[in-house]
Amino acid sequence: MKKMKLVMIGNGMAGVRTLEELLKHAPDLYDITVFGAEPHGNYNRILLSPVLAGEMTLPEIMLNDLGWYRDNGITLHAGKRITKIDRVRRRVIAGDGTEAEYDRLLVATGSTPFIPPIPGKELPGVLAYRDIADTEAMIDAAARYRHAVVIGAGLLGLEAANGLMLRGMDVTVVHLADWIMERQLDRAAADMLQASLEAKGMKFLLAKQTDALVEGGGDKNNAGRVAGVRFKDGGEIPADLVVVAAGIRPNYALAESAGLHCGEGRVRGIVVSDTMQTITDPRIYAVGECVAHRGVAYGLVAPLFEQGKVCANHLANFGIGRYEGSVTSTKLKVTGIDVFSAGDFSGGADTEEIVLHDRQGGVYKRIVLRNNRIVGSVLYGDTADGAWYFQLMKDGQDIGAIRDHLMFGQNNLGDAGHKGENKAAAMPDSAEVCGCNGVCKGTIVKAIKEKGLFTIDDVKKHTKAASSCGSCTGLVEQILASTIGGAYQAVSVHDKAVCACTELSHGDVRKAIRDHKLLTIPAAMDMMAWKTPNGCATCRPALNYYLISTWPHEAKDDPQSRFINERAHANIQKDGTYSVVPRMLGGLTTPAELRRIADVAEKYQIPTVKVTGGQRIDLLGIRKDDLPKVWQDLGMPTGHAYGKSIRTVKTCVGSEHCRFGTQRSMAMGVDLERMLFGMWSPHKVKLAVSGCPRNCAESGIKDVGVIGVDSGWELYVAGNGGIKTEVAQFLCKVATREEVLEYSAAFLQLYREEGFYLERTVHYVHRVGLEHVKKRVVEDAVNRKALYERLLYAVQDYTDPWAERYAADAAQALRAQFETLEA
């Protein structure tokens, strides 16, 4: 099969990341040709500041050297600028006459520095700060001259000023606005940052408008080059070097000359759709700073990488990904000072603010809220929780439950030894970060810098840190954010890939299974272009669950894609034996069942018999070969204590026996467990029913907790009694038994349909918000009924493989108990 021709204009970070993603998906689909205006391979533009400061060298910031292009069969024309796109003949033409034909064209021309129309801007010694050539010119000037002026006190301007100051120059920063970094910081944080920089020798002239750049006179060292900066108010300062860092503009001139639509009004750029195709010509794609997407042009690396990922998906003909825009953050470290900002921190009439301002201690935090959700944040000095705030903001999580300690960080602890400094930044390189794999901080930082890593998944792949138990993930994320600064962007839980076998998120996979009615794992992997032929232990169980939960009775359950506990219908123990938990509805049993359990324990010499926390009897230490015979002799269904499913419904004795009981909790527990038996779910689900507010069944820490009150029942959801105990949240109050069943089932079905595999209900509700759940389950009666009916439909034909001898006698015995009590 003849390969299609893909030509890419531009050789920057966004474009090459797109090619890297494309080569993962479809390495043999295209003959690829790249034109780059600079005479280099692809390098990390973000690390130009450390090069200017003398902390790194140019070879250390190369992401893809010339050998990478050669090894991947890519033709690179370095140092050749494209001057024309011929859309009729489908070819591009460079300034030296070099031509290349294309079937698909990828435009990644980036941005150009904005230099205001200041008289004298063409003088020698006046530079922008954008590429390797600019950086080398600034290093050369710093070795020969003394006075530097940086016009613009934004992120790039301060980094340039800091680098030149470290090179020994006397640096003055001139800024038109009233405070520095006004797009990233509020006034209070900016004033603190300015004071810190001034203490280190940097000078500032704010609210100053440049009138002209002055040419040197008779001095042979500066004759004919810039020698000063004159202001509108008549003042003037010396300048042997002027660096203009007044912003960037999308570089769309080439695309516009080819007739591609490049927007109108304030935001110009190559207009693209959510598939990163230009809206003028579907054969032409565009990514990076040259793009305008939904009226926004991005200047940070993280959104551009997201664009590249989506673009590669469509160039590979998968057609699944969509780029819907990005929420961005800014992280800056200048001379040891940490600054972080994200979102809309300007506030407004419909917002609230939580502020901590300790000027003497060098710490400032401002969190802006709207409807109990973070919409913006500014941190100075203590930025350790910036990634956490950013994640909460991206995921739109309701922070009402943690509002009172939100300001004090994710761990509710400060590190007194570092006075609010980023914990990761303060750690020595020798400090161990990942105990599971023995990875220290220095190893992680070195990998990030040398291999150009930008995501947690990249760090896991190259260092193994955070790839085992995951407890160090937050710390690794801090190290990543601290190392790459503005390139870092937290990944929303909506966007995280299922595993290394695919680039698709859990949401993408569920949508594809639903939209294309996929019924088998091979069909799903084929349609979604899985990277590995058979998947892995992470994705196969997830795919299997999504298939059978989306298409019950149609999708075929694959037992080999279940964990060993679900295959064996028992819990594997650390010594290789198994434990069996027979089903006891609501924790109730009969003398006949107890005799059978005792007989089985003696017959198979089961060493341990224990009552579980869920009010069941656990038989521990059973050999695998004995499992079928144990279940046969028990004559009882499995209790599902092994599965991602309904586990148990714990009950108190309720009004059936207890003098304090207000409702019949045992009967309710039996009804709930009977209704839900056979329900598979993203993770284990535990319920409890308490007959009165004394809550003896611990309903307040269950996935669904039901508490009897005089007038009916209160329902609580999303509790968790695990490693980190989470109190369940109040959902609603109902009056009848039937309503308890309907509301509980509707919540669990919503979780089954929207929860990600291995996501507990507590994390699901944190992700989508309790208000979302209430709208779907409590406020919308029609939707609640539909959810309830879908759950009943899913479990209606479930039969337990070990329950053939379990006739109606046990159920009748339990019901007889209730009827006797009622009488």
Give the domain CATH number at 690: 3.30.413.10
- In this structure, are residues 530 and 502 in contact, taking their beta carbons and an 8 Å threshold? yes
CA atoms within 13 A on the CB side of 228: 12
Same domain for 257 and 202? no
**Could you say which of 189, 218, 246 is where a domain stops?**
246
- In this structure, are residues 52 and 161 in contact, taking their beta carbons and an 8 Å threshold? no
Same domain for 780 and 669? yes
From residue 599, give the alpha-carbon distance in Å to each of 98, 583, 810.
87, 17, 17
> Per-residue pLDDT tens for 648-683?
899 999 998 888 999 999 999 999 999 998 899 999
Same domain for 36 and 89? yes
> Per-residue pLDDT tens for 406-462?
888 876 533 333 333 456 666 788 877 776 567 888 899 888 888 878 777 788 878
Instruction: Give a yes or no: residue 604 inside a domain.
Output: yes
Same domain for 98 and 219? no
Instruction: Give a yes or no: residue 156 inside a domain.
Output: yes
Residue 803 binned pLDDT confidence (cut-offs 50, 70, 90): very low
From residue 315, give the alpha-carbon distance in Å to each of 138, 253, 260, 306, 541.
39, 24, 19, 14, 29
Retrieve residue 700's tokens: 């307040």
Q: Count of CB atoms within 10 A of residue 529's CB? A: 17
Same domain for 553 and 571? no
Instruction: Give a yes or no: residue 454 inside a domain.
Output: no
Return the DSSP state at 505.
B
Same domain for 145 and 268? no
- Please check the confidence at residue 809 and state whether its pLDDT lies above 60: no
Report pLDDT for 811: 45
What average pLDDT does range 592-621 have in this prediction?
91
CA atoms within 13 A on the CB side of 162: 25
- Please check the confidence at residue 799 and state whether its pLDDT lies above 90: no
- Please check the confidence at residue 629 and state whether its pLDDT lies above 60: yes
For 210-224, 624-638, 804-818, which range has the lowest pLDDT when averaged over its residues? 804-818
Report pLDDT for 806: 41
Residue 209 to residue 246: CA distance in whole angstroms: 12
Residue 149 phi/psi, 5-degree rounding, is -125, 130
- In this structure, are residues 656 and 587 in contact, taking their beta carbons and an 8 Å threshold? no
Same domain for 139 and 254? no
What average pLDDT does range 528-550 have in this prediction?
89
Residue 716 to residue 713: CA distance in whole angstroms: 10
- Please check the confidence at residue 100 and state whether its pLDDT lies above 70: yes
Look up the pTM and report it.
Answer: 0.62
- In this structure, are residues 475 and 435 in contact, taking their beta carbons and an 8 Å threshold? no
Sign of CA dihedral 293, 298, 302, 308: positive
Instruction: Give a yes or no: residue 343 inside a domain.
Output: no
**How much is the CA Rg of the chain, to the nearest whole Å?**
32
Report pLDDT for 463: 85
Residue 73, helix vs strand vs coil = coil
- Please check the confidence at residue 516 and state whether its pLDDT lies above 60: yes
- In this structure, are residues 34 and 55 in contact, taking their beta carbons and an 8 Å threshold? no
Residue 218 binned pLDDT confidence (cut-offs 50, 70, 90): low
Retrieve residue 50's tokens: 């450390």
∠ CA 334-448-427, rounded to 5°: 60
Sheet containing strand 578-580, edge to edge, reads 571-572, 578-580, 617-622, 608-611
Same domain for 140 and 209? yes
Residue with tokens 């407890």: 471
Which has the closest alpha carbon to 729: 761, 752, 754? 761
Q: Count of CB atoms within 10 A of residue 313's CB? A: 26
Report pLDDT for 379: 92
> Per-residue pLDDT tens for 50-66?
899 888 888 888 888 89
Query: At 580, which CATH number?
Result: 3.90.480.10
Residue 446 to residue 429: CA distance in whole angstroms: 10
Retrieve residue 288's tokens: 């990076």
Query: At 178, which CATH number?
Result: 3.50.50.60
Residue 574 binned pLDDT confidence (cut-offs 50, 70, 90): confident
Retrieve residue 333's tokens: 């470290």
Q: Which residues pair with 451 in a beta bridge?
A: none
- In this structure, are residues 53 and 162 in contact, taking their beta carbons and an 8 Å threshold? yes
The pLDDT mean for the chain works out to 87
Residue 181 to residue 156: CA distance in whole angstroms: 10
Residue 647 to residue 820: CA distance in whole angstroms: 28
CA atoms within 13 A on the CB side of 70: 3
- Please check the confidence at residue 44 and state whether its pLDDT lies above 80: yes
> Per-residue pLDDT tens for 576-593?
898 888 888 888 888 988
Question: Would you say 692 is a known binding-site residue?
Answer: yes
> What burial class does residue 117 get, using C-beta atoms within 10 Å of its C-beta: 0-12 exposed, 13-18 middle, 19+ buried?
exposed
Cβ contacts of 726 within 8 Å, gap of 6 or more: 701, 718, 719, 720, 762
Same domain for 713 and 602? no
- Please check the confidence at residue 796 and state whether its pLDDT lies above 90: no
Return left, alpha or beta for 602; rule: phi > 0 is left, psi -120 to 50 is alpha, else beta.
Answer: alpha
Residue 366 to residue 273: CA distance in whole angstroms: 35
Report pLDDT for 312: 95
Instruction: Give a yes or no: residue 410 inside a domain.
Output: no
Residue 370 binned pLDDT confidence (cut-offs 50, 70, 90): very high
Question: Would you say 696 is a known binding-site residue?
Answer: yes
Report pLDDT for 421: 41
Sheet containing strand 226-231, edge to edge, reads 210-215, 226-231, 236-238
Residue 723 binned pLDDT confidence (cut-offs 50, 70, 90): low
For 29-38, 112-121, 408-417, which range has the lowest pLDDT when averaged over its residues? 408-417
Residue with tokens 């298409």: 551
Cβ contacts of 572 within 8 Å, gap of 6 or more: 564, 565, 578
- Please count the structural domains in the chain: 5
Residue 610 to residue 619: CA distance in whole angstroms: 7
| Maximum distance among all Cα pairs of the chain, rounded to whole angstroms | 114
Residue with tokens 């993930």: 473
Retrieve residue 233's tokens: 């108010």
Which has the closest alpha carbon to 463: 475, 486, 446, 478? 446
- In this structure, are residues 768 and 809 in contact, taking their beta carbons and an 8 Å threshold? no
Q: Which residues pair with 293 in a beta bridge?
A: 272, 296
Cα 444 to chain centroid distance, Å, stands at 20
**Could you say which of 562, 578, 606 is where a domain stops?**
562
Instruction: Give a yes or no: residue 538 inside a domain.
Output: yes
Question: Would you say 658 is a known binding-site residue?
Answer: yes
Residue 201 to residue 168: CA distance in whole angstroms: 11
- Please check the confidence at residue 221 and state whether its pLDDT lies above 70: no
Same domain for 269 and 140? no
Residue 133's domain spans which residues? 126-246
From residue 726, give the alpha-carbon distance in Å to each of 389, 402, 544, 697, 762.
20, 11, 29, 16, 7
Residue 807 binned pLDDT confidence (cut-offs 50, 70, 90): very low
Retrieve residue 388's tokens: 């956490």
**Could you say which of 315, 345, 363 is where a domain stops?**
315
- Please check the confidence at residue 515 and state whether its pLDDT lies above 70: yes
Residue with tokens 């220095």: 442
Same domain for 168 and 241? yes
> Per-residue pLDDT tens for 66-81?
999 999 999 999 999 9
Instruction: Give a yes or no: residue 428 inside a domain.
Output: no
Q: Count of CB atoms within 10 A of residue 478's CB? A: 23
For 173-187, 218-232, 239-253, 641-655, which range has the lowest pLDDT when averaged over its residues? 218-232
**Best-predicted range by mean pLDDT (267-281, 305-319, 404-418):** 267-281
- Please check the confidence at residue 494 and state whether its pLDDT lies above 80: no
Question: Would you say 311 is a known binding-site residue?
Answer: no
Considering the chain, what percentage of its residues have pLDDT values greater than 70?
A: 90
Report pLDDT for 420: 37
Same domain for 134 and 268? no
End-to-end CA distance of the chain: 80
Residue 643 binned pLDDT confidence (cut-offs 50, 70, 90): confident
From residue 391, give the alpha-carbon distance in Å to each of 6, 34, 327, 554.
36, 36, 10, 37
